[in-house]
């Protein structure tokens, strides 16, 4: 479903056009076109196996489409490694499985969010400014008191918050999240959701999140993209995601 194109839209930070993805002979996404806007939170929703995580992986360059492509406001069509490298400088991703290094402390894991901005052969300690940014990112997710604790000693919810802080330290223009609140209790999920919403509204960041909590998607997101069996079933403002639209997405 597409809504009235005359409804006010923000500038698109990122988009996909006529996107197909096949993996192992199976169609995962089919003919998906959608824009993700600066200064807005977009929630990608749908039943298990709908293609939500695959769409996030296409947006961050981890999965190559079979047909169609990704375009970015800053770089145009992302068709080669150089274009993707430029795009990733302003992009951060929060992964569902945390992707943290357990033997390192929380602060060092957050600093790894900046690893691509200095030489991998550098033996110098992290600059004070970078450590200050990492500490602030941990403070933003309520974990500054655990900054020097090894990540392997943290709870699942705390690890997820470290993953969010590692994304925030990049000060991204585009923030992608694959169920970033899955391991959090509802109050903490609402708090972090509010933090990400402020990131969008105050800094103009395009926030794109795969969410399985429909209630959270309704309260947090400006727009909802609904997938079912790899096809786009809804794309529009959250206020139009009514019971009929939800039934179309979730069957």
Angle at 250 between CA 249 and CA 251, to 5 degrees: 100
Confidence at residue 96, expressed as pLDDT on a 0 to 100 scale: 78
Q: Are the C-beta atoms of residues 206 and 14 closer than 8 Å to each other? A: yes
94 vs 42: CA distance, rounded Å: 15
Angle at 62 between CA 236 and CA 1, to 5 degrees: 15
108, 207, 157, 227: CA torsion to nearest 10: -130
Which among 1, 26, 29 is positioned nearest to 16, based on CA atoms? 29
Count CB-CB contacts under 10 A for residue 190: 17
Confidence at residue 20, expressed as pLDDT on a 0 to 100 scale: 97
- Mean pLDDT of successive 10-residue stretches along the chain, which has 251 residues: 50 90 93 95 96 95 93 85 88 85 95 81 80 94 94 91 91 92 82 86 92 92 96 96 95 82
Confidence at residue 183, expressed as pLDDT on a 0 to 100 scale: 74
Confidence at residue 9, expressed as pLDDT on a 0 to 100 scale: 63
Confidence at residue 5, expressed as pLDDT on a 0 to 100 scale: 43
Confidence at residue 182, expressed as pLDDT on a 0 to 100 scale: 80
């Amino acid at each position: 479903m597409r809504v009235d194109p005359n409804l006010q839209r923000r500038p698109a930070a990122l988009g996909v056009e006529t996107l197909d993805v096949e993996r192992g002979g199976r169609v995962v996404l089919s003919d998906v076109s959608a824009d993700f806007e600066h200064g807005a939170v977009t929630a990608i929703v749908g039943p298990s196996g709908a293609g939500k995580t695959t769409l996030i992986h296409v947006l961050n360059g981890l999965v190559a489409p079979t047909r169609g492509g990704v375009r970015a406001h800053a770089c145009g069509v992302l068709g080669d490694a150089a274009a993707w490298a430029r795009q990733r400088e302003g992009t951060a991703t929060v992964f569902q499985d945390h992707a943290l290094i357990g033997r390192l402390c929380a602060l060092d894991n957050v600093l790894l969010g900046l690893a691509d901005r200095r030489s991998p052969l550098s033996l110098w300690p992290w600059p004070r400014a970078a450590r200050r940014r990492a500490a602030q990112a941990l403070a933003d997710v309520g974990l500054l008191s655990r900054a020097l604790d090894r990540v392997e000693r943290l709870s699942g919810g705390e690890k997820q918050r470290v993953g969010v802080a590692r994304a925030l330290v990049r000060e991204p223009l585009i923030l992608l999240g694959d169920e970033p609140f899955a391991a959090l209790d509802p109050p903490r999920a609402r708090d972090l959701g509010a933090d990400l919403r402020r990131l969008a509204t105050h800094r103009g960041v395009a926030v794109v999140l795969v969410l399985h909590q429909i209630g959270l998607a309704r309260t947090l997101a400006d727009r909802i993209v609904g997938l079912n069996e790899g096809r786009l079933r809804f794309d529009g403002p959250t206020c139009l995601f009514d019971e009929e639209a939800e039934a179309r997405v979730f069957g």
